[in-house]
Amino acid sequence: MLACGTRILGVKEYNCDKPECPHVRYVTNSCGSRACPSCGKKATDLWIATQLNRLPDCDWVHLVFTLPDTLWPVFESNRWLLNDVCRLAVENLLYAARKRGQEPGIFCAIHTYGRRLNWHPHVHVSVTCGCLNKHGQWKKLSFLKDAMRSRWMWNMRQRLLKAWSEGLAMPESLSHITTESQWRSLVLKAGGKYWHVYMSKKTAGGRNTARYLGRYLKKPPIAASRLAHYNGGASLSFRYLDHKTGETATETLTQRELVARLKQHIPEKFFKMVRYFGFLANRVCGEKLPQVYRALNSS
C-alpha cells in the first residue's frame, strides 16, 4: 500500500499500434488495497455508481451500534467476534420488523477505526423505512431507539459471555482476567450507558442514500484530504474532528506510528466489510428487488 502508484509495484508500458509513432506512455500499478486512500476512494466511487442503479427509491434511516471502550481490545485480539457484532446489530432490526411480519432491506458495514485511527470497533447499519407485506404492498416501517439499545446490549453481552468457552484470547490490557467469573463480571459491568445506538435523520431516495452510504459505510480508514503535506521528514500530521470540542484538531505521528495505526484496520483476506440483509441479501435480491420496485411505483 505504501508503494501504491510507484515503480516498486511495476509499470505498464503503452505503445501506439503504428510503428512510426514514437509516443510511449508509462503507468505505474496501484496496490488495490481497501485501506489505501487512493484505491479505497476509487473502489468507493465505483460502488456508489453501482448502488445508484440498485437501491430502492425510498426513505432510509441510518444507525450506528457502539460498544463500551473497555471491551474494544477484546475484539482486536479476537477479530472473529466482529462477525457477531455485525450479525447481532442486523438481527436487532430484523427482529423488530419480523414481529410485524415485515422484512426491510439492510446494508451493514463494520468499522474498526475512530477519527484518530485508533481501534474503535462499531457497526454502521442503513435500513429502508418500509418493506413488502405478504400482499406485495409497500408499508412504512419505523424503529424504537430505546428498545433497540436494550436488545443490543443484552444480546451482545450474552454473546461475549459464551465466547469465554470458545478459546477467547485476552488482550494485554485485560491480562488480569484469568477466570470465567472475572470475565462475566467485566462484561456485565462494562459501561451500560456506553452501549449506544445512534439514529440519524432519514435520507430520501436512492441517490441521496447511495452517496451517504459511500461516504460513511464504504470508505478507507483515512482520506488523503485529511493528511497534511509530507515533506520527507520523520513525522506526518493529519486532521480529525474532536468530538469533545466540536473543532478540527491535528495529530502528529512518526511514520512508524502512523503505519502501525493504519495497519490494524486492514481486514483479513476475504473478510466482508459491507454486508447485505433482508430483501437486499444476495440469495434473494434477484427475486425481491423487482417486487420492491413495482410496489414503490404503485404506492
* Secondary structure, 3-state, 200-224: CCCEECHHHHHHHHHHHCCCCCCCH
Q: Report residue 37 as a C-alpha cell.
A: 486512500
Alpha helix ranges (H) inside the chain: 37-52, 72-77, 82-98, 145-163, 180-189, 206-216, 255-263, 285-298
Q: What is the pLDDT of residue 158?
A: 97
Span 54-105, pLDDT tens digits: 889 899 999 999 999 999 999 999 999 999 999 999 999 999 888 888 889 9
* Helix (H), strand (E) at residue 254: strand 247-254
d(CA 209, CA 280): 14
Phi, psi of 251 (to 5 degrees): -120, 140
Which amino acid is located at 30 in the chain?
S
Q: What is the pLDDT of residue 283?
A: 93
d(CA 159, CA 95): 17
Q: What is the pLDDT of residue 105?
A: 94
d(CA 109, CA 151): 19
Nearest by Cα to 289 from 206, 201, 212, 204: 206
d(CA 65, CA 209): 19
| Whole-model pTM over 0.95 | no
Strands 138-140 and 119-128, bridge-based pairing? unpaired
Q: What is the pLDDT of residue 231?
A: 62
What's the burial of 27, exposed, middle or buried (CB within 10 Å: 0-12/13-18/19+)? exposed
d(CA 159, CA 176): 21
| Residue 264, Ramachandran bin (φ over 0: left; ψ between -120 and 50: alpha; else beta) | alpha
Q: What is the pLDDT of residue 104?
A: 94
What class, spelled out in words, does domain 37-221+273-298 have in CATH?
alpha beta
Q: What is the pLDDT of residue 230?
A: 63
Grouping H, G, I as helix, E, B as strand and the rest as coil, residue 27 is: strand
Domains of the chain, by residue range, sit at 1-31, 37-221+273-298, 226-264
Grouping H, G, I as helix, E, B as strand and the rest as coil, residue 278 is: strand
Nearest by Cα to 139 from 275, 276, 279, 277: 279
Using 50 as the pLDDT threshold, list the residues of the chain that sit under it.
Answer: none
Span 173-201, pLDDT tens digits: 999 999 999 999 999 998 867 899 999 88
Q: Which residues pair with 242 in a beta bridge?
A: 247
Q: What is the pLDDT of residue 293?
A: 92
Q: What is the pLDDT of residue 218?
A: 66
Place of cell 475484539: 75
d(CA 254, CA 235): 4
Q: How many residues does the chain have?
A: 299
Q: What is the pLDDT of residue 299?
A: 61
Q: What is the pLDDT of residue 20?
A: 84
Q: Report residue 83 as a C-alpha cell.
A: 462477525
